[in-house]
C-alpha cells in the first residue's frame, strides 16, 4: 500500500512539474511551482518575453508600407499609449449611438458583477450580440493592422464588447490602484462613447512605463517571484522614476490604445447610474509562441 502511495505521489509531482514548465512558456501571470518561481527563472522568462515580442515586431514591420500605420505603431511603441480623436466616421458613430442611446438598452445588458470588483459591464461579442453593422470596427485599417503588428498575427481575433462601468459604492474597484496588467506586452483598446472629464474615470497611463527600466524591471520580477502577476506600484514610485502621466479629458469618439503592461489606473467617478460606455477589447497573446 505504501509503495502505491509513494508511486502516486511521485507521479503527481512529475505531472505538476511538467504542467508548471508548460505554464512557464505561457502568458500566465503566476506560476504555482516553487522551483520555477525563483528570481533567475522569472527574470529569464520576463526578458525572453520582451525579446520575443521585439523580434516579432521587427519581422512584421518589414511588410508594412502604410505611413499612417507606421506612425501610429511608432507612437504606441514609444509611449505605450496611442490616442486618436474623431476615430469613427459620422455614419459608423451614428449607428453605434442609436444602439447606445436606445431606450431598451438596459434590458440588453447582462451585468457581470464579478468580473471586476466595483465595475459592471455588458459582455458580448459585437458581431453576435450587438448590431451586425458594428463589424465595421474590425474592418477599420488601424484596428486591423496595429494589434497584429504590435503583438503578433493572432492578435487579429479580437473579442469586442460594449462596456459600461457602473458605480457600486460598497465595492472597491481594483483598477483604481496603479498597476501593470501582466509581465509582457499586451493591448487594451477603448473607443469612448461619451466625453469624460479629466478627473473622472478616464485612463491614466504612465507613459513609457512599458519599456525596459532597471528599477521597475527589478520590482516586476520580484513581484512575479512572489506570485503577483499584476503588480501595484505607488504613484510616488512612478514620479520618482520620472515617468509622465497621461491624464487628459477624453472626448467622445476617441480611440485609446494602450500597452497595459505599462502602469495605469483610472479614477472612480461617482454619481451616475450608468457611466462611461466604451467599445472595448483586451488582447493578450502568448509572448513566446505566435
The site for Fe ion (CB under 5 A) is made up of 181, 260
* Nearest distance, CB of residue 210 and Fe ion, angstroms: 12
* Nearest distance, CB of residue 137 and Fe ion, angstroms: 21
| Residue (73 or 190) nearer to Fe ion, CB | 190
* Number of other CB atoms surrounding residue 91 within 10 Å: 9
* Nearest distance, CB of residue 166 and Fe ion, angstroms: 18
User: Is-contact 278 213, C-beta < 8 A?
Assistant: no
* Nearest distance, CB of residue 259 and Fe ion, angstroms: 11
| Residue (29 or 260) nearer to Fe ion, CB | 260
Pairing state between β 264-266 and 203-206: antiparallel
3-state helix, strand, coil in the chain (%, to 5): 40, 15, 40
- CA 52, 226, 241, 204 torsion-angle sign: positive
| Residue (181 or 200) nearer to Fe ion, CB | 181
| Residue (120 or 145) nearer to Fe ion, CB | 120
* Nearest distance, CB of residue 170 and Fe ion, angstroms: 22
* Position closest to Fe ion via CB: 181
CA angle 185, 183, 116 (to 5 degrees): 90
| Residue (130 or 203) nearer to Fe ion, CB | 203
Bridge partner list, 190:
256, 280
Amino acid at each position: 500500500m505504501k509503495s502505491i502511495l509513494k508511486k502516486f505521489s511521485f507521479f503527481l509531482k512529475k505531472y505538476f512539474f511538467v504542467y508548471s514548465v508548460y505554464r512557464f512558456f505561457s502568458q500566465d501571470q503566476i506560476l504555482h511551482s516553487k522551483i520555477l518561481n525563483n528570481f533567475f527563472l522569472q527574470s529569464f522568462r520576463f526578458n525572453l518575453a520582451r525579446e520575443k515580442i521585439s523580434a516579432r515586431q521587427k519581422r512584421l514591420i518589414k511588410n508594412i508600407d502604410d505611413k499612417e500605420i507606421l506612425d501610429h505603431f511608432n507612437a504606441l511603441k514609444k509611449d505605450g499609449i496611442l490616442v486618436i480623436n474623431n476615430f469613427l466616421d459620422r455614419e459608423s458613430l451614428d449607428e453605434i449611438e442609436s444602439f447606445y442611446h436606445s431606450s431598451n438598452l438596459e434590458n440588453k445588458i447582462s451585468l457581470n458583477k464579478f468580473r471586476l470588483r466595483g465595475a459592471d459591464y455588458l459582455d458580448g461579442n459585437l458581431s453576435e450580440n450587438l448590431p451586425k453593422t458594428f463589424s465595421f470596427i474590425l474592418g477599420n485599417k488601424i484596428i486591423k493592422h496595429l494589434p497584429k503588428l504590435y503583438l503578433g498575427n493572432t492578435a487579429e481575433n479580437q473579442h469586442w464588447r460594449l462596456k459600461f462601468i457602473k458605480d457600486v459604492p460598497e465595492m472597491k474597484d481594483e483598477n483604481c490602484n496603479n498597476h501593470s496588467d501582466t509581465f509582457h506586452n499586451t493591448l487594451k483598446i477603448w473607443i469612448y462613447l461619451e466625453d469624460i472629464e479629466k478627473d473622472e474615470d478616464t485612463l491614466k497611463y504612465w507613459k513609457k512605463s512599458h519599456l525596459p527600466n532597471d528599477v521597475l524591471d527589478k520590482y516586476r520580477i520580484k513581484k512575479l517571484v512572489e506570485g503577483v502577476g499584476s503588480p501595484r506600484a505607488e504613484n510616488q514610485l512612478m514620479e520618482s522614476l520620472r515617468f509622465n502621466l497621461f491624464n487628459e479629458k477624453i472626448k467622445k469618439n476617441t480611440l485609446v490604445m494602450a500597452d497595459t503592461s505599462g502602469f495605469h489606473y483610472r479614477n472612480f467617478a461617482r454619481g451616475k447610474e450608468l457611466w462611461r460606455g466604451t467599445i472595448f477589447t483586451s488582447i493578450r497573446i502568448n509572448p513566446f509562441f505566435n
